[in-house]
């Protein structure tokens, strides 16, 4: 009986925590929605830049940055982590401003599109495409821009563990104009969409534990081969879409040249999928190398063993955190969860 009571108490506490998290986010968005977009974005950047380094998630940010940039000194990594948290905070607050950011009458000059619709080589003129992006800049706005060029767009996303937060986020995402498909419905839903003439969108810089190992910044990590597999199955081009934050709530959305997934005569389907995925990884890596502060890397990107092997000769992110932990042991660390990571 005691065990049953303890189990019920824990469940009740978890439900309360989930509702509280959603309430805090709702209130924060309510307070910041009336602000000018640039002010709100800058506020999120400053607040999360300060709070992020005290979050438990900061160990993942430090670990990811050190694995990606082993040549950087400890102080450089820590400063870069503050910038990463700043971009994360701006994105979190910009959810409250999505209707403004996607309103053509209000967002003039905020979204620079390269190339624009006058480019005759833009691939969507020939049918549905597989759009891939990474958690850089404000990746949510990339979906909005793509939607302006295609007849229909289905974007796969990972629902939040907190259903109350998930509902809030999905309500805000309605302003993007595209359809969202839960990852639980998986690849088959995307395949059906492509065959029916709908384009699809995927975020590809997350760790997929069941995926094959491929190098990312020179360190092997599980990756998704879904875009490559879809392209090989349907013949649809893969169009990489990069989001860059230029200043506060001003962005550049870049459509990179399409990748054609064609199986070579000496390849198995699996080998072809891995080769195409490697090309996508290399492109995303180049984006992050050029603008590391744009990258949201609050979740562990590499297996611990691979990461530790890369960082064997330098101070580990954990040791960097522990160096300051003793002096701050009595301070409770806030929980920061990526509100829109997909």
pLDDT at 256: 92
pLDDT at 186: 79
E strands along 116-196, which residues? 130-133, 153-157, 179-182
E strands along the chain, which residues? 111-114, 130-133, 153-157, 179-182, 199-203, 213-216, 219-222, 238-247, 250-255
The mean of the pLDDT values for the chain is: 85
* Alpha carbon separation from 229 to 74, 122, 232, 253, 259 (Å, rounded): 39, 22, 5, 25, 13
Is residue 114 within 8 A of residue 252, CB to CB? The reply is yes
pLDDT at 306: 75
Q: How many CB atoms lie within 10 A of CB 201?
A: 29
pLDDT band for 108, please (50, 70, 90 cuts): confident
pLDDT at 277: 97
pLDDT at 183: 85
Helices first, then strands: H and E counts in the chain: 12, 9
pLDDT at 284: 98
pLDDT at 330: 41
pLDDT over 70 at 320, yes or no: no
Q: To the nearest whole percent, how much of the chain has pLDDT over 70?
A: 84
Q: To the nearest whole percent, how much of the chain has pLDDT over 90?
A: 65
pLDDT at 10: 41
Distance (Å, rounded) from C-alpha 340 to C-alpha 96? Answer: 12
pLDDT band for 314, please (50, 70, 90 cuts): low
pLDDT at 2: 34
Lowest pLDDT segment from 110-124, 135-149, 193-207, 254-268: 110-124
Cis previous bond, 82, omega within 30: no
pLDDT over 60 at 195, yes or no: yes
Is residue 302 within 8 A of residue 69, CB to CB? The reply is no
Top-confidence range, 2-16, 19-33, 186-200, 274-288: 274-288
pLDDT band for 151, please (50, 70, 90 cuts): confident
Give the tens place of pLDDT for each residue, 57-91. 999 999 999 999 999 999 999 999 999 999 999 99
Q: Give which of 225, 178, 184, 217 is closest to 297, Cα–Cα.
A: 217
pLDDT at 8: 40
pLDDT at 305: 83
**Taking residues 91-111, what's their average pLDDT?**
89
């Amino acid at each position: 009986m005691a065990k049953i009571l303890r189990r019920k108490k824990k469940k009740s506490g978890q439900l309360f925590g989930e509702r509280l998290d959603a309430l805090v986010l709702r209130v924060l968005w309510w307070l910041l929605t009336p602000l000018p977009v640039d002010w709100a974005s800058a506020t999120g950047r400053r607040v999360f830049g300060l709070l992020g380094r005290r979050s438990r998630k900061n160990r993942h940010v430090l670990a990811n940055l050190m694995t990606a940039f082993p040549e950087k000194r400890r102080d450089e990594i820590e400063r870069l982590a503050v910038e990463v948290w700043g971009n994360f905070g701006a994105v979190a607050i910009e959810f409250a401003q999505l209707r403004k950011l996607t309103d053509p009458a209000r967002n003039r000059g905020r979204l620079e599109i390269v190339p624009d619709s006058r480019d005759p080589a833009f691939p969507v003129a020939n049918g549905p495409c597989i759009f891939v992006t990474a958690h850089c800049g404000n990746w949510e706005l990339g979906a909005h821009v793509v939607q302006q060029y295609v007849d229909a767009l289905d974007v796969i996303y990972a629902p939040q563990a907190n259903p109350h937060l998930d509902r809030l986020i999905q309500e805000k995402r309605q302003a993007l104009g595209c359809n969202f498909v839960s990852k639980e419905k998986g690849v088959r839903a995307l395949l059906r969409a492509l065959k029916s003439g709908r384009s699809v969108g995927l975020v590809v810089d997350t760790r997929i534990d069941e995926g094959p190992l491929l190098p990312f910044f020179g360190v092997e990590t599980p990756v998704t081969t879904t875009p490559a597999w879809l392209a090989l199955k349907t013949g649809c081009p893969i169009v990489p879409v990069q989001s860059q934050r230029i200043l506060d709530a001003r962005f550049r959305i870049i459509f990179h040249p399409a990748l054609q997934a064609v199986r070579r005569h000496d390849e198995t389907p699996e080998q072809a999928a891995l080769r195409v995925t490697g090309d996508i990884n290399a492109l995303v890596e180049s984006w992050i190398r050029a603008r590391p502060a744009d990258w949201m890397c609050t979740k562990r990107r590499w297996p611990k063993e691979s990461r530790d092997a890369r960082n064997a000769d330098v101070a580990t992110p954990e040791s960097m955190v522990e160096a300051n932990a003793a002096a701050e042991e009595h301070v409770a660390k806030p929980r920061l969860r990526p509100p829109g990571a997909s």
